[in-house]
Structure 1
Amino acid sequence: MSTGAIVGIVIAAVVVLVVLALVMRRKSAGPRLRPLEPQAKAQFAERWAKAQEHFVDRPDAALAEADRIVADVMTERGYPSDADHERREADLGRAHRDDYHAAHEVLVRTGNGGASTEDMREAMVRYRAIFQDLVGDTPAKASH
């Protein structure tokens, strides 16, 4: 084999390795998050306010809506749109992983009557903390 052929093979191998390294780096970096547009932020805030209002009459439905809102906000911010609750939990990171897990567990228990109203209230508070962080609102600014 000639020197030129060997150099060509080495260059091709290096290019392949560099491309693979870039792909792996991009995958491990996680989703590219973006802030919410003001209009989207307002729409999510309105949905959240309605879910909280409905908690009095239908805490189970309000809790399910809170879960949907959190998932929708995450999608709007750039998290994977096809994520299940385990992926969303992992994507939230340390700050809200435990809150999301606990709130979702209560949501699951509401389907078989295994969650009390107090359990659902606490789960709603957990979802609210996640929601406020995702939309960029702080508890001090929140009206509900």
Structure 2
Amino acid sequence: MAPLNGTRVIPVGWSAHHRPVVEGSFNLACEVWRPGDGPPPFGQDEAPAVLVWSGQCRLQQRATGDGGKVVADQAVQVRDYLAVLPYEVLALVRSGEAGDVLKAGGRSYMILDALQGSELWECDLMLQSTDGG
């Protein structure tokens, strides 16, 4: 069934209208860091990381079965996480192998992917713990 003539199922501005609602659920201080580019300064092993964003977010472990993998004949515990940040952060973050790192609650997480869609009111990031948990 089609909507009435001259109407839309999802009104213009719907996502922007709902952004303050989701941001009200953020309960954890988070930072997004970008690994340093270029050569490290003299006497250091790595180029310094750059702070990309700092603010509140929501973090939860994803239910992905037992979380175990076998890598090089060794059982490895892998935990995936979902971080929800303000929508505006989506344009700032890099994901993937050379992606940014999210730091929250005293732990670090590699940003694997940033979820996209046609109606967005939050920045959803798929993460993997780099602290072994």
Q: TM range, normalised to the smaller chain?
A: under 0.3
Q: Give the structure with the larger helix fraction.
A: 1
Q: Give the structure with the larger strand fraction.
A: 2
Structure-1-length-normalised TM-score = 0.24
Structure-2-length-normalised TM-score = 0.25
